[in-house]
Amino acid sequence: MIDAGQNTLRVIVPVASRFISPQNTDWKYAAKTLPSLSSPQQGVQIVAQRNLYADAVSNLRYGLAIAHSRGIRLAPRAWNYALTQDCHLSLRDVKQAQAILSYERYPDETFGLPVTWITSPTRRPNWSKSSLSEDDFERIVAWKRARAQKAAKLVFTTAVSLELFLEQSDPALRRLCSVIPFPILGISPIADPRPKWNQPGLRLLFVGREARRKGLPTLLQAVVPLLQQDPSLHLTIVSTLGDGPVSIPTLPNINHLRETSHNQVLQLMAQSHLLANPSLWESYGFVYVEAMSQGCVPMALDSPVQRELIGSNGILLSSQNPNEIQDALRQVICHREVYATRAQRGLDSYLARHTTERIAAQFYEAIRSTL
């Protein structure tokens, strides 16, 4: 038995160190974000593997997965998903490790080390947009169920995803489960949101590369009449319009920024009162958590995940309807003190649940409990 209290707990993350798709968010999370959790948490060292052969295997499997999702069968159907989703981990990589921390993919060989597996349920809407069949869906569910039964610990980013996963797999696995939010790096929370809420005017912010999916056309239908009526109302749009053009009116109180850094977006959130992102769907919704960290009230469509992340600290819409959005904006204009209170509650929620220090400590405890 390893005494994690007296020794540095070394944890290996099986992920390609060199990846053919460096902008892939899953890869960046596994290769960059998870190892960075070592910094705020003493007693644990989380490292990504450095192995050229493992890199080659990961990239080949990623290519096969992409081909399979597009209906190109390069491997037998019966084991294609396991081939592309299991990840390679070599003995050389784990010599000094006491545990494995794996995100979505599962090690095809664990060398006797306990695995803390960050996973999620399989959602039908995501697969209905690809060429994957109902048989593929069932095969994915079966693969996750089999791997979950091997894991020493299961980690989910929301309670909603945990419950759906247990429905799809085995309720008896609940004893292995923990809920740990996604860590978002590089955030310095605002000290006090009250000063900006005490100032006149109202600043709205929209952030999203895929502007159409995230509801910019509908938002503009709702907000442009208000902008024309009230010059103290201001809208800043941060988007490269990556999923198609959007007609943005030329008004003095609309500002469109295409390329901005993460720090610039956080600064805009700190200056803004409301993040108006009525997205059609979000798998998680990092932008809403970031907004709460800056005392910026998030507006989102009401879904189980957004309800869990935002709750009563924001504005949850029943649909992407311009009339409903406009009514919600009028409420903010008329009842600023109510929404100033929500901004403070959102900040408190971020500090209690989403800081890197808090999340790093939760991962440490989850991994240590497997030893």
- Tens-digit pLDDT profile for residues 302-318: 999 999 999 999 999 99
Confidence at residue 79, expressed as pLDDT on a 0 to 100 scale = 54
Are 212 and 248 spatial neighbours (Cβ–Cβ below 8 Å)?
no
Its CATH architecture, for the domain 194-353, is: 3-Layer(aba) Sandwich (3.40)
Are 15 and 37 spatial neighbours (Cβ–Cβ below 8 Å)?
no
CA distance 12 to 279: 35
The answer to whether the predicted template modeling score (pTM) of the entire model surpasses 0.85 is yes
Confidence at residue 133, expressed as pLDDT on a 0 to 100 scale = 72
How does pLDDT run along the chain (371 residues), one tens digit per residue?
A: 334 445 789 999 999 888 888 888 889 999 999 999 998 888 899 999 888 888 888 888 888 777 776 777 766 665 556 666 788 888 888 888 999 999 999 998 999 999 999 999 987 755 555 556 777 788 888 889 999 999 999 999 999 999 999 999 999 999 999 999 999 999 999 999 999 999 999 999 999 999 999 999 999 999 999 999 999 999 999 999 999 999 999 999 999 999 899 999 999 999 999 999 999 888 899 999 999 999 999 999 999 999 999 999 999 999 999 999 999 999 999 999 999 999 999 999 999 999 999 999 999 999 999 99
Confidence at residue 68, expressed as pLDDT on a 0 to 100 scale = 72
Confidence at residue 72, expressed as pLDDT on a 0 to 100 scale = 75
Structure tokens at 368: 């240590």
pLDDT digits (tens, 9 = 90+) for 17-55: 888 888 888 899 999 999 999 988 888 999 998 888 888
Confidence at residue 97, expressed as pLDDT on a 0 to 100 scale = 94
Confidence at residue 5, expressed as pLDDT on a 0 to 100 scale = 45
Encoded amino acid at 31, one letter: A
Q: 């996973």: which residue's tokens? A: 119
Confidence at residue 2, expressed as pLDDT on a 0 to 100 scale = 39
Residue spans of the domains in the chain: they are 9-183+355-368, 194-353
Decide whether 9-183+355-368 matches 194-353 in CATH topology: yes
Confidence at residue 64, expressed as pLDDT on a 0 to 100 scale = 79
Write out the chain in H/E/C secondary structure: CCCCCCCCEEEEECCCCCCCCCCCHHHHHHHHHHHHCCCCCCCEEEEECCCHHHHHHHHHHHHHHHHHHCCCCCCCHHHHHHHHHEECCCHHHHCCCCEEEEECCEECCCCCCCEEEECCCCCHHHHHCCCCCHHHHHHHHHHHHHHHCCCCEEEECCHHHHHHHHHHCCHHHHHHEEECCCCCCCCCCCCCCHHHHHCCCEEEEEECCCCCCCCHHHHHHHHHHHHHHCCCEEEEEECCCCCCCCCCCCCCCEEEECCCCHHHHHHHHHHCCEEECCCCCCCCCHHHHHHHHCCCEEEEECCHHHHHHHHHHCEEECCCCHHHHHHHHHHHHHCHHHHHHHHHHHHHHHHHHCCHHHHHHHHHHHHHCCC
Query: If we measure between CA atoms, which residue out of 160, 147, 154 comes closest to residue 175?
Result: 154
**Under CATH, to which class is 9-183+355-368 assigned?**
alpha beta
CA distance 91 to 109: 9
